[in-house]
Amino acid sequence: MTDNLSNSYDINGQHFNPDMYLQKMLKECTLKQIMDNEKEIIGDTQTLLSDMQTLVYENYNKFISATDTIGKMKSDFKKMEDSMDLLATNMDSITSFSEQISSTLQGTRQQISRLSSVHALLKRLQFLFKLPGKLKDRMNEGNYSQAVQDYIHAQRVLNQYGNMPSFQGIQKDCEEIVEELKSQLRKQFHKREASTKSLAESVDLLLQLNEPADSLCADFLTHADNRLAEQLAILKDMCENDIIEYVDMGSSGFLSDLCLIVASYNDMFVNRTPADDTDFSDDFDTKALTRLNVFIMDNMKKYFDLIGKRVEDVADTAVLVRALDRFHRRLQAMNMLCTETDFARTGIDIVINAGRKQCRNHLHSLKQHLSETLAKVRQTLAAKVTQDGDGGLAELQATLVMPTIEKVKGVLQDLLVFLQPDLSFSLKPHFLQSFCVDEVREGLVVGYLHHLTATASGFCTGSDVPKFPPTLLLLLSKMCIEFKDSSVRYLLTTTDDLFNIEQHATSENFITTESEICENFQTTAQNLLNHYVRLQGLAVSQMLRKSVETRDWLHTIEPRTVRAVMKRVVEDVTAIESQVAVLYDDADGQMDRSSDSSRKTHSVSVSRHQYRSNWSSYTPSHLDSSLVTNIHKLFSERIEFFSSVQFNKASILTGIIKISLKTFLECVRLRTFSKYGLQQIQVDTHYLQLYLWRFVTDENLVHFLLDEILGSAVHRCLEPVLMEPSVVDIICERG
């Protein structure tokens, strides 16, 4: 309402209300304003009037021109009507003409179409006729696939019309040619230099020619076999080459070829789409697959044999391991291709074998090193025998132990490359178990330790006539002891740590314990030492025996000196002592005696005194009853002569002296003595008593044996009269 209200005041609006407007004006505006407003409105009104006049005028002009146009149109339409009529008549005549023409041409057209169909047929026939030649051409060009295409193309027709004589000829020709083609293809098949790819093509073509797939399979595989055999032969020839190169060759040459062959075989024979051919039955599929598997197994076996053989003899472990790694990786890849068999397993076996072989090689070199060391030590010893004394025994001992340990450690380090974590086979438990436990620990380390003991033991079997210096036995015995005390433990823990034996060992593995080996070393050391004592005792015995046996004791002169043999015996024992002292300590109890000089002199005097008192019992009245020795026998233990000794100097020397003196005793008992002969023995035994007691653990033993000797000599004497002890003293001191 308000809108309308306001609108009604708008002079240009639709709802303008002049009365309201006037009233409003009158009410609100001044006169002057109203006047101005009136003037304004009058002006506007006039303008509007003139505008309207102009418009009217213009519209009138337009109307006139329209009227003109309409009149013109009327006349034009008239003319058009006439033209249309003319057209109609013309069309009629055209139609009639056309009908006339088509009826005239109908015969010719049929002829043409027949001609063209004949032409096509002729063309086909021409193809057939030309086919033999074309096939020949193609064959000569070597374009076999095209030839096959052509033949297959024609074959159907030929089959259809094969009964007609003319076609029969063609068919025969074609078949001949195709036979030739086939043979060509087969020939290509058998060509040595044919690549696998071209082979595959040939096979494909032959298959298209309906050759029996079975024989093709066989042919294909035989051929592939030959090719692979060549590869293998090349590999075989390359044995001299670097191992990595060799393995790479194998991978890129043999294995790639094999993969390619297998792939194309699968494509050609196994994975055909069933619709493709009906003759590829399931039966054939399985047959083809078994054939393939046999083939693969065969060739892989050869390959493995070659590789296995090659990797057996590689000096540098790092290189070997790298080669093995490559080999194993490649095999793993292979595995994806040939699903039937697990080549990785075989590969691991080869790796393990290589590891084993490497261990064996190392073991062998260790053994060699040992025998070289032994030879060296023997040489040194042999050279030293002339210049007696302890000359470098300790160093020799060291050369027996330290380098051996170092060498074993070096070998272990060398073998450690087998366990590098980035190697493809280093995580296989089968490998770890077999390599670490069986090969490295048991085969190499324990094997070597066993070899050590066996080698050492080898020196104490055999005769008492040694072909080597007896000192060697002493050295070896000491070596065994050292091994037992520390080196065995050290080597085994090192091995166990380095190769994580505890983790890898399973119940299947046999693990030699440390104590077992140590025991071995202990017995070996004992045997060696016993043998040493026996040999040295024998050497001294021999001198004593000869000296007793060769002398004519019935016609000897009154003793003036100690016999040279006795001095020699003492010298020898002293030399032995100095040798033994280098390697073996005194027994605990002996220590103070040898170091305390005052005690020493005291002991000498005491023992002399005792000895003298013993002698005094051999007055002629008592000579028949060797009371003293009998009493001694009652209270002393039985003496073992060829017995085990302990690992200390005194025990070793006691053993040697025991054997020597017992020989002396037995020899004396086989002889008969005159008075002077007996006295010579008296002098000799006294001399021995003076010098031998300090070497032994129990000097009473020496006393007892010497007493026995003298006692026996007294018994074996025709005129048993002993010398004055003081004279004996003098002679001994002089001599």
Q: Which of residues 196-235 bind other proteins (CB under 8 A)?
A: none
Rounded least distance, CB 631 to other proteins, Å? 12
Cβ-based nearer residue to other proteins, 159 or 672: 672
Q: Please identify which residue in 173, 277, 388, 666 interacts with other proteins, judged by CB under 8 A.
A: 666
The Cα–Cα gap between 461 and 528 comes to 9
Rounded least distance, CB 701 to other proteins, Å? 15
DSSP 687: H
H helices present in 142-251, as ranges: 144-161, 165-190, 196-208, 213-237, 243-249
Q: Which stretch binds other proteins (CB under 8 A): 195-203, 258-266, 330-338, 458-466?
A: 458-466
C-alpha neighbours within 13 Å on the C-beta side of residue 505: 19
Backbone angles phi, psi at 348, to 5 degrees: -60, -40
Q: Please identify which residue in 450, 489, 567, 669 interacts with other proteins, judged by CB under 8 A.
A: 669
Which residue's structure tokens are 């007696």? 388
- Burial label, 721 (beta-carbon count in 10 A; 0-12, 13-18, 19+): middle
Q: Which of residues 537-566 bind other proteins (CB under 8 A)?
A: 538, 554
DSSP 562: -
Cβ-based nearer residue to other proteins, 315 or 718: 718
**By the 8 A CB rule, do 572 and 660 touch?**
no
Q: Which stretch binds other proteins (CB under 8 A): 329-337, 397-405, 461-469, 694-702?
A: 461-469
Q: Residue 195 corresponds to which amino acid?
A: S
Between the CA atoms of 123, 126, 132 and 134, what dihedral angle is there, to the nearest 10 degrees? -50
Q: Which of residues 396-415 bind other proteins (CB under 8 A)?
A: none
Cβ-based nearer residue to other proteins, 413 or 643: 643
Residue 265's nearest CA partner among 323, 332, 340 is: 340
Between the CA atoms of 564, 565, 569 and 570, what dihedral angle is there, to the nearest 10 degrees? -20
Cβ-based nearer residue to other proteins, 250 or 537: 537
Cβ-based nearer residue to other proteins, 27 or 638: 638
Q: Which stretch binds other proteins (CB under 8 A): 61-69, 109-117, 459-467, 495-503?
A: 459-467
Cβ-based nearer residue to other proteins, 223 or 716: 716
Cβ-based nearer residue to other proteins, 285 or 666: 666
DSSP 317: H
Cβ-based nearer residue to other proteins, 413 or 644: 644
Query: Coil, helix or strand for 673?
Result: strand
H helices present in 425-513, as ranges: 429-432, 447-458, 471-482, 488-499, 501-504
Query: Coil, helix or strand for 717?
Result: strand
Rounded least distance, CB 462 to other proteins, Å? 9
Q: What is the DSSP string of 34-96?
A: HHHHHHHHHHHHHHHHHHHHHHHHHHHHHHHHHHHHHHHHHHHHHHHHHHHHHHHHHHHHHHH
Q: Which of residues 243-272 bind other proteins (CB under 8 A)?
A: none
C-alpha neighbours within 13 Å on the C-beta side of residue 413: 6
Cβ-based nearer residue to other proteins, 287 or 669: 669
Rounded least distance, CB 642 to other proteins, Å? 5
Cβ-based nearer residue to other proteins, 287 or 715: 715
The Cα–Cα gap between 208 and 149 comes to 9
* Residue 662 binding other proteins, by CB under 8 A: yes
Q: How many residues bind other proteins (CB under 8 A)?
A: 20
Rounded least distance, CB 380 to other proteins, Å? 26
Rounded least distance, CB 352 to other proteins, Å? 42
Cβ-based nearer residue to other proteins, 314 or 538: 538
The Cα–Cα gap between 434 and 508 comes to 10
Q: Please identify which residue in 31, 94, 465, 557 interacts with other proteins, judged by CB under 8 A.
A: 465
The Cα–Cα gap between 381 and 400 comes to 13
Q: Which of residues 698-717 bind other proteins (CB under 8 A)?
A: 715-717
Cβ-based nearer residue to other proteins, 238 or 639: 639
Q: Which stretch binds other proteins (CB under 8 A): 24-32, 193-201, 421-429, 664-672?
A: 664-672
The site map against other proteins for 81-120 (x = CB under 8 A) is: ----------------------------------------
Rounded least distance, CB 465 to other proteins, Å? 6
Rounded least distance, CB 663 to other proteins, Å? 8
Residue 551's nearest CA partner among 564, 540, 539, 538 is: 564
Cβ-based nearer residue to other proteins, 444 or 538: 538
Which residue's structure tokens are 């000196």? 561
Rounded least distance, CB 539 to other proteins, Å? 12
Q: Which of residues 621-660 bind other proteins (CB under 8 A)?
A: 633, 638-643
Give me the residues that bind other proteins (CB under 8 A), please.
463-465, 538, 554, 633, 638-643, 662, 666, 669, 672, 715-718
